[in-house]
Structures are given as structure tokens and as C-alpha cells.
Chain A
Amino acid sequence: MTLLLRELKILLRSPAGAIQSLMFAVLVIALFPLAITPDPDQLAPLGIGLIWVVTLLACLLAADKSLASDYADGSLEQMVLSDYPLWWMCLVKSMAHWVSCALPLLLMAPILGAMLAMPLDRIVWLMASLVLGSPILSLFCMLGAMLTVGLNQSSALLPILIAPFLVPTLILGTQWATTGGEAFYGYMLAALLCLSVVTLPFATAVVAKIAVSR
């Protein structure tokens, strides 16, 4: 709990990173109708996919920032050396990443949906799919960030490395929302979330040990 509090304090005092990815997402949604068409009939079917893609990209964009300072100032070394289970700290880091970039987008989804002329029930399904799906994105992003932290070109390498792993979540999430909650996609998404929560923090912890020994 103290650890999560620490992460949130750091986020609150340097909100530039979180705001940047949020602004990116909002701008894409705002510019899209201007560039393609303002016609609601054509826009509405695109809404779910568009907001999902934007959320995914916003998560990727913020990923490397969340670890960079901990690596640079040596906090990561101390975390590896601590008595706390390292996987727990990796999970906390993922939660902080989720709070800083997925949660604001989730809360803004009704506004973003309205900007794309989405009907209300679509927006509700979109939000439900983001609730289940976006934590998976954060967990994978943290794994990718840990893999590339301390490398010179980490921000270029990270999306290439991690994007393929985000695709199943994207497909299941968008399909679940577009089909209006077809059980198969929902179960698969929930299963993927459970699997990610119980495996990825451990993988990230293993990678963290390698990262600090570089």
C-alpha cells in the first residue's frame, strides 16, 4: 500500500507524462471526425475500435517513462534488493501505470464516445471492455518497459517488442464491445486478464533482476 501511495505521489507531482498521453488520445479522437467525415452514421461504427486503439497507443506511449526515473536514480536496484517480493512491486508499478494512463481514458470514454456520435449502449459496452482489457495492456507495457529500461533507444524498441502481445487483447476487447457483450469474447478477455495478473508480474520481476545487473 505504501508503495502504491509512493507511485501515485510521484505521478501527481510530475503529471506531464500522464497528461501527454491523455492529450494525445483526446486529440486523435477530436481530429478524426474533422479529417474523415463529420457524418454520425459513418462515425458511430468506428467509435469502439478507434477508442481502443487510442487507449493502447496511449499506454505504450507512457510505458517507458514510468520506469525511467526509478532506473536512473537507483530506486530499482533498491527494490530488487528489498525484502519485499519483487513481483508485488512490479504489480504495483503496473497498477500505477494503469491509474495514470488507462483510468483517465476510461473515465473520459463517455465524452470521447459522444465526440464520435456513439449511442449510449455502445459506450457502456466500450467502458466495460476497457475495464477488463486495459489492465492487461498495463501489465504487458510494464514488462516491455522493464525489458528496455536503461537501453539507449528504449522508446523506439518498446512498441515493436510489446505491440504484438497487445493484439489479442485488442481483438477480444473490441469484439466484445461491438457484439454487444457476446459471452465468448467476454470470457476470453476475463481469462486473459486473470492469466496476465498471475503471470506477468513474475515475468517482470525476473526481467528487473537482469535490468539492474546490466
Chain B
Amino acid sequence: MLQIESLSCFRQDRFLFKDLNAKVLPGQALQIVGENGSGKTTLFKILAGLFDEYEGRVILADAGRPLYLGHRYAVNDQLTPIENLNFLLKLNDMQQAEGPLTAALARFQLCSGLDQPCAALSEGQKKRVALARLMLTSARIWLLDEAFSALDAPGRAVLSEVCQAHLASGGTLIFSSHQGIPEFASAAQLHLKAEL
């Protein structure tokens, strides 16, 4: 469960957001909606624990560390998709054999070139490498900042399937997206509006 209580963030001489309240139960999704510059990424950073200059409370009840995927999704150009994935899992102390790694990448339609450095991949393919981590993580709360952008239609379809499976298994999902995601049209929404 994730709960936000009267969360305010003051940045660069203005309130980025003020008095936000939200509660997301296991199995529920929450969409963060807001214009460019309305503070979505800052909110995600606060939830992930990267940014702590805020007022109010963020409560992550017995769910362990959330998994945060931001605009910059930590795929190194010099490493192969397998090595990247291995490193990202290792950071959360999850050693994986190569089998599950390849399977996770295959789920995101990355089958060839797995032994080539990621520099050769397109932006969307790099994003898929980062997203493949979702298949293997044990994190119960997913924070996906603009995860649906840079993906083609089949990629978005796979991602929403993976997210729905996560919700079905009692996970929590917080995401932002400028495109409408039909599968999550009924998800609760949190609107950010910059106050001057």
C-alpha cells in the first residue's frame, strides 16, 4: 500500500504541488496526470526516495523498496542487454541465471543481438531492455514515469499486459503517461497543477 498525505513540494520559488493526498491499495493503479513541468517526475522521485525536500508524508506500508523506472532508465550503451539487466537485478540482490533473463527480454520482443552492446539498439529497444526488469523484480510497488513513451503499439501492449499481471498478483502501480492507455482508463487519477 502506498499513501500520500498532504504532500507539498516547493521548488525554484514556487509550489510545484501543494497538499496532495492519495491512497493506492494493493492491486490498484494510480495514474499521475499533469502538463509538462507540473512536477510529475519530482513526485516520482519523492515516492522513490531520491528527493526529500518536501512537506507531508509518504507511507509505504510493508511493501519493501519500490521499483523506480524514470526517463533515464539506466541502460548503459557499452553493455549488452543481458549484462545491463544482470547489473540492474544485482543492485537489488537478485542473481538470475541467463535463462530467465533471455525469457524476460523475449517477452519484450528482444530476441536477437543480445550479445551486442546496447549502443546498437534504438531508443525504444533500450527502453524494452529496462522494462524487461519488471518481469524479474520482486518489488511490490512499481513507479513507472513515462514508461509508455518511446514504445511502439506492440510494446505498449506488452507493457500493459505485464502491468495488469502485476496488479492481478496484488502489486501496486503508479504511472504517468501523456497518451491514454485504454487498459488503465478506469485507474484512479492524481492531477498535478503547478501553483504559481
Give residues in A with beta carbon < 8 Å to B.
2-3, 6, 9-10, 13-14, 69-70, 72-75, 77-84, 212-213
Are the C-beta atoms of B78 and A83 separated by less than 8 Å?
no
Closest residue on chain A to residue B48 by CB atoms: A81
What are the interface flags for B83-103 relative to A under an 8 Å C-beta threshold, 1 for contact and 0 otherwise?
100111011110000000000
Are the C-beta atoms of B71 and A78 separated by less than 8 Å?
no
Instruction: Judge if B76 is at the interface, Cβ distance under 8 Å.
Output: yes
How many residues on chain B are close to A (CB under 8 Å)?
28
Are the C-beta atoms of A6 and B87 separated by less than 8 Å?
yes
Q: With A and B bound together, what is the CA distance between A69 and B87 in angstroms?
A: 15
Q: Chain B contacts of A81 at CB under 8 A?
A: 48-50, 65, 68, 91
Give residues in B with beta carbon < 8 Å to A.
45, 48-53, 65, 68, 70-79, 83, 86-88, 90-93, 117
Closest residue on chain A to residue B133 by CB atoms: A78
Q: With A and B bound together, what is the CA distance between A194 and B90 in angstroms?
A: 29
Further 4 A-B residue pairs, CB within 8 A, beyond A9-B78, A9-B83:
A3-B90, A78-B88, A84-B93, A213-B45
Q: Chain A contacts of B48 at CB under 8 A?
A: 81
Q: Chain A contacts of B72 at CB under 8 A?
A: 72-74, 77
Partner of A77, one of B50, B79, B83: B50
Partner of A73, one of B45, B49, B77, B86: B77
Are the C-beta atoms of A74 and B71 separated by less than 8 Å?
yes
Closest residue on chain A to residue B130 by CB atoms: A74
Q: With A and B bound together, what is the CA distance between A72 and B90 in angstroms?
A: 20
Q: Chain B contacts of A73 at CB under 8 A?
A: 72-77
